[in-house]
Amino acid sequence: MKSAFIHVLLPLCFCLALANTSLFDSVLVDMNYDHYAEKNLESLPCYLAMPFNSLINLGYLYIGIYWLLQQTDSKGDPKAGYVKDVFALMAIAYGPVQWVRLATLRRAPSVLDQWVTLPIFAWVPVWCQFIENGWRPRYTFAVELCAILSYGLSLLHDQGFEVALGIQVTFAVIKGFGVHRKYGDFRSQRYLVLALLSCSGFVVLKVLDHTLAKYRLFQHLTGHFWSKVCDILQFHYSFCFLTHLTNRGLKRTE
């Protein structure tokens, strides 16, 4: 647990430190309430100005703590629990990052919110690699470093972050299908499909936030709110998929 905590904390502090410099002053980020379809309530404190979009971030804390407390069958490899704990701690850390962004609408939290998304998605290929070939420190370092550095694309183009995120998502999907073909069964297939549907829902609902707000159903619980629900489900089903295949992979190597 301690090593997993340090693993997540160090890159987070690195990104936090740089996000609070002038390095990313040219990066296109949204820093006003008009970006969100949910109406802000001036009568509430800043951390609840958009209550539904703010409170949904508790879901990341819940799903992270839930999976952090789950025991893994680590008899085959003690690192099985480590890769699970790192991913769980990433979920726990992401909730407050997103909440602070909404509460402050400042550049640094907005940049950090985008940036930390990249190593989170990058951890899926790392976990898949662990399932297939065991723990590979150099591979892990290279993948995470590339994910963190890829945010530099946002300095080159207004849509640089979207390009970097698209690359990370595509890499994660490819590795997911690859490990499923090797160790998968009907159960892992179901988890993989649900994770992909959740990922698609996250993207589509977020993009259509204002469009959907024209309909009464999405005027309070907006598209952005439901996109975060899909994101949390994406975390959950990714955990289900990866832990299930981890146990199957370890059993085959015994």
Q: Which residue from 246, 244, 228, 243 is spatially nearest to 88, judged by alpha carbons?
A: 243
CB 203 within 8 A of CB 178: no
Q: Which residue from 37, 77, 40, 85 is spatially nearest to 206, judged by alpha carbons?
A: 37
Backbone angles phi, psi at 49, to 5 degrees: -60, -35
Give residue 252's pLDDT: 57
Query: What's the average pLDDT block by block, 10 residues per block, for the chain (254 residues)?
Result: 91 96 92 90 90 96 96 72 96 96 94 96 96 93 96 94 96 96 94 97 95 90 96 97 87 54
Query: Whole-angstrom Cα distance, residue 125 to residue 184?
Result: 16
Q: Which residue from 76, 126, 121, 120 is spatially nearest to 94, judged by alpha carbons?
A: 120
Give residue 250's pLDDT: 63
When divided into structural domains, the chain yields a total of: 1
108 contacts: CB under 8 Å, gap ≥ 6: 16, 19, 20
CB 212 within 8 A of CB 223: yes
What is the Cα gyration radius of the chain?
18
Q: Cα 122 to the chain's mean position, in Å?
A: 9
Domain that includes residue 33, residue range: 2-253
Query: Whole-angstrom Cα distance, residue 93 to residue 7?
Result: 12
Query: Whole-angstrom Cα distance, residue 18 to residue 64?
Result: 25
CATH number of the domain to which 144 belongs: 1.20.1070
DSSP 40: P
Give residue 219's pLDDT: 87
User: Which tokens go with 166?
Assistant: 């698209």
